Structure 1
Amino acid sequence: MALLRRGLLAAALLAAGLTAGLIATPSAAQAAVGDGSPSDTNIAYYGRWDTTNGAAYVPGFAGAYLETGFTGRTVKIRQRNAIDLFYSIDGAAWTYIQNVSGTVNLTPSALASGTHRLRVSYRVVAGSYHGDAVFQGLVLDSGARTVAVARPARLLEFIGDSITVGTTSSQNALTAYGWLTGEQLGAAHTQIAQGGACLVSAADGCVGMADRFLRVNTTAGSALWNFNRYQASAVVINLGTNDVGHAVSTTTFQAVYTQLLRDIRAKYPNAAIFALKTFTGRYAAQTQAAVAAVNDPRTFYVVTDGWLPSGGLTDNVHPNDAGHRAIAARLAPIVSAQI
């Protein structure tokens, strides 16, 4: 009878869990903690990561990264196919490795014994990951484990095109103003951006970030992003540089920008939203009018005149490292004042 009662109780609890929408079992979640697998909860993922396949996590935009602590003297990363990536251990300068695949040793010289900290971000070309950006986990020393790292209380999201990606800067997303601003403020951060992108999805194929903001990655028709995964403390938009070359009218631009602001507010009820005047000045009046149209006290139009120093561009459009540092120096206090 005792066994029967326990069996009935277990069945009742299972039924209750299913009714409440509980799909993952506690034992499965606990088994992953510390083992370095993609589902290891000691690994923190920042940005839009597709976690549909529990054995292979895929970042969807520039500026996504992962972070964890680990014990032992070595760490390796498992990659499916060839990829270029950046990594940093214990806050050291970023190391860039190219065309690596399989189990990749990130510690060719063994570390001192103890607890260490790892960050990994994949290189981007024109907003897309260069190579096969599929993270399949970490390999640690025998008896070693991952260790949770304190997560920043705030997260900043930057929506844009190749300027936000960091195209022509020395380390792409890692030397772009969004990454630099987040680091300066001690906040987590991600760049929802693609090289060549427009605000508006144009008939000639220009990727419209007003649509992609809602999605897991830059692919048209990709799955909608689950905004319950994280809440941004601030969102910075820098769009409009490319639309003029794709026959986007000022009327359409203003209407779509207004809707984007409303979508952001719906997804992030408490975020401060900053609409930057593009550094070229394109669609400035329409961007400002969109901010006025939403009439939201937490949405701001930011005039960027004079932010780029002499010699701060690689070409006529893209900031170099010095240009990105100058932008971050002007933007960080504006964001900080509102969050």
Structure 2
Amino acid sequence: MFGCILPLIFLLLPLLATCSEKLVPFTDNNIKYFGRWRITTTDIQSGWPGAYLKTNVNGPTIKLRLNQPTTVYVQLGQEPMRKLDAVYKDQLPIELVVATDLSQGPHQLMVVSTANTSICLESLVLAVAATTAPPRLSFDLVEFVGHDLTLGTSTSQSLLTSFPWLVSTMMEIEKVQIAYPGAWLLDHPQALGMESQYFRWTPSLDETERNQWDFSSYLPSAVVILLGQNDPETDLYSHGLQGFLLRLRKHYAHCAILVLSEPRGHRVRQSQAAVHALNDAGDQDIYYIDTTDWVQDGSDFLDPVHLSDQGHERFARRLSPWLHTKLIWPRQPFPDPFPNPNLPRDWHTMDVGQEQSIGLPGSVSFDSGNTFTLWGSGTDIKDNQDAFRYVFQALSGDGSIQATIGSHSAFASCAKAGLMIREHLSLGSPHVMLGISPAEGLFLQTRHTNLSPSHLVRKTRGSPPYHFRVTRKANLILAQISQTTTTQWDTFANLTLPLARDVYVGLAVTSCDPSVVSVAKFGDVVLQGGVGSGTYRSSSTTTTATITAAGKLTGNFDSKYNSYYGNKAIIPSINPTKPKAKAKEDEEKPIGGGNDNDNADTNGRFIYQV
């Protein structure tokens, strides 16, 4: 008798199990969806990476009933995220077990699509007596638009270690990620860019899947855009970005739009131009943010394209306070940079370049009312990547900087010290530099496009002390020098150099050897334009200048005098004291007096002391 009953029991077990469970359809009002989803007759489907759902469950078991094989991230309450695979086993739908033997709850359930899979959810499978409840939600939702960096590609946990995910966790906000690997902005003949893909519910290559997105589904508080590194170097990018932002604004009339620079400075000039054009047209809720000093070339990068876990975390920590100012109402100004106690107001300093190329950390001191002393290491300011110490301010539009280089001490003949206008703060920025070097004497060099080789415009013999001035008017650069006075200037060169409207202007030093530092003293520093325009010297005589269309200097020198006092920095212990070395000769007539002593130290290193 029992032999007949046992097979019957085994046949009834699946039915008994089904009777102990119930299906909660995807349309349940307590399930909240974030990202781009579409509803079909049988399920709800996610369209872009990182889309997720939230709900609270009161019950001992949770399963997902899925209409396609997929991989998802799952989180219950405050537990760590788990990665689960829904595997096809000759039958659909697939029931993916999330949890069993839970306490009564409630348990907040979060299910997230991965970077390369979609979720096709038919229902939740819960115990018969279980219930759902609304999850805890943030008031703010931020949409992140971009490429590999927005997806966290190549990081340890992909989306979960991307800067958008980290920002949303730090700020306790909801998020949407509209991104795909290798994304660019502009449409190509062979493929569509984000200017088209963004407005679709999914980036699928299947034409039947490219339905236009219904923008009434959610309204973000802010949109954060990071694009540019995969687009070509062309002014068409500026027009394309401007058109993209205008289309986006039609759908999101009141949200803040933050356009981030690429960490390595790709398309900075074009991105700025697009944002400024829309600002000038009256849209004051579109913002450009320079991120080129947020992460360090080296440990913050896995390769030239992808940030490391550490890089994403640093990027997120820098972005969060900026984003916060645009999520509160009324909107607040962006946070000011932290002041440097060793420098006058509005001046900042950093080592620019890749960590190994920089070598020894640089520093700066400001000697009460008179002199900036810079200690800088680094391989050089040359070729397509720089490594040096920079003391700088922001400059918007036209302006100038002048200073007297009173002395320059260096071990290597290729060491440099001078004035620099630089488009951004990453290692390959377009720039112009007027300065002095043992090898080149007085020199002017430029880099016209991001990460391209630098170009020596002019050089001639000379040694400190020397007065230098660089003036910018639109795309015209005027470089001037004087050996004896700051009231009579000789034109060293003038040239055309298209740079972004908002740039950096300041003082630069490189040792041309990452194992040592070079030391330069800059006195009588005068800055016109920029954030902290003023005079940084003990004399009350100050100067201003303008450039005519022909490139000539005009104007009377009568600007407001400002005196600043700062604490001296702790500086490296180095004191090269060998005799002076003569500057490298070239075909031009000397402008300043070189010295005719060549010397090397016991290690064979060239030493330059003036």
- For Structure 1 versus Structure 2, the TM-score category normalised by the shorter chain is 0.7 to 0.9
CA contact (8 A) 1:46 1:66 kept: yes
**SS of equivalent residue, structure 1 residue 88:** strand
Please tell me whether residue 89 in structure 1 is matched to residue 76 in structure 2: yes
Give 1 or 2: higher helix fraction: 1
Tell me the residue number matched to 2:24.
36
Q: Distance in 1 between matches of 2:24 and 2:86?
A: 22
Q: CA deviation at 1:81?
A: 2.8
1:116 alignment partner, one of 107, 132, 148: 107
Q: Distance in 2 between matches of 1:147 and 1:233?
A: 25
- Flag the 1:313–1:98 CA change in 2: closer, same or farther, 3 A: farther
Read off the aligned partner of 1:146 and give its amino acid letter: T
CA contact (8 A) 2:49 2:179 kept: yes
Q: CA deviation at 1:227?
A: 1.1
Tell me the residue number matched to 1:104.
96
Tell me the residue number matched to 1:282.
266
2:318 alignment partner, one of 330, 333, 339: 330
**SS of equivalent residue, structure 1 residue 36:** strand
Q: Distance in 2 between matches of 1:70 and 1:250?
A: 52
Tell me the residue number matched to 1:181.
167
Please tell me whether residue 201 in structure 1 is matched to residue 193 in structure 2: no
Alignment of 1:140-289 (within 5 A): 140-205=126-191, 207-219=192-204, 222-244=210-232, 250-289=234-273
Please tell me whether residue 60 in structure 1 is matched to residue 52 in structure 2: no
Q: 1:193-213: CA deviations, max 9, x gaps?
A: 0101110111232x4111122
CA contact (8 A) 2:51 2:112 kept: yes
Q: CA deviation at 1:54?
A: 4.3
Q: Distance in 1 between matches of 2:86 and 2:23?
A: 26
Q: Distance in 1 between matches of 2:136 and 2:69?
A: 31
Q: 1:205-256: CA deviations, max 9, x gaps?
A: 2x41111221111136611111111101000000011112xxxx52221111
Q: CA RMSD in A?
A: 1.6
Q: 1:33-92: CA deviations, max 9, x gaps?
A: x963111111110001112x1431111111211110011011001122321111000121
CA contact (8 A) 1:75 1:106 kept: yes
Alignment of 1:309-324 (within 5 A): 309=296, 310-324=298-312
**SS of equivalent residue, structure 2 residue 145:** strand
Tell me the residue number matched to 1:14.
none
Structure 1: 5+ residue runs without aligned partners? 1-33
1:299 alignment partner, one of 265, 276, 286: 286
Q: Distance in 1 between matches of 2:42 and 2:264?
A: 43
Q: CA deviation at 1:265?
A: 1.4
TM superposition outliers: structure 1 runs of 4+ over 3 Å = none
**SS of equivalent residue, structure 2 residue 108:** strand
Q: Distance in 2 between matches of 1:260 and 1:232?
A: 17
Q: Distance in 2 between matches of 1:234 and 1:212?
A: 19
Q: CA deviation at 1:100?
A: 3.0
Structure 2: 5+ residue runs without aligned partners? 1-21, 89-93, 328-610
Q: CA deviation at 1:328?
A: 0.6
**SS of equivalent residue, structure 2 residue 84:** strand
Q: Distance in 2 between matches of 1:320 and 1:59?
A: 27
Read off the aligned partner of 2:258 and give its amino acid letter: F
Read off the aligned partner of 1:216 and give its amino acid letter: W
Q: Distance in 2 between matches of 1:66 and 1:198?
A: 28
- Flag the 1:306–1:67 CA change in 2: closer, same or farther, 3 A: same
**Larger RCO (CA under 8 A, 6+ residues apart):** 1
Please tell me whether residue 139 in structure 1 is matched to residue 139 in structure 2: no
Please tell me whether residue 48 in structure 1 is matched to residue 36 in structure 2: yes
State the percentage of identical aligned residues: 31
Please tell me whether residue 70 in structure 1 is matched to residue 62 in structure 2: no
CA contact (8 A) 1:253 1:286 kept: yes
**SS of equivalent residue, structure 2 residue 271:** helix
Q: CA deviation at 1:139?
A: 0.4
Tell me the residue number matched to 1:23.
none
- Flag the 1:50–1:307 CA change in 2: closer, same or farther, 3 A: same
CA contact (8 A) 2:73 2:113 kept: yes
CA contact (8 A) 2:86 2:95 kept: no
Q: Distance in 2 between matches of 1:271 and 1:242?
A: 26
Q: Distance in 1 between matches of 2:85 and 2:223?
A: 32
- Flag the 1:64–1:93 CA change in 2: closer, same or farther, 3 A: same
Q: Distance in 1 between matches of 2:268 and 2:174?
A: 29
Q: Distance in 2 between matches of 1:269 and 1:158?
A: 17
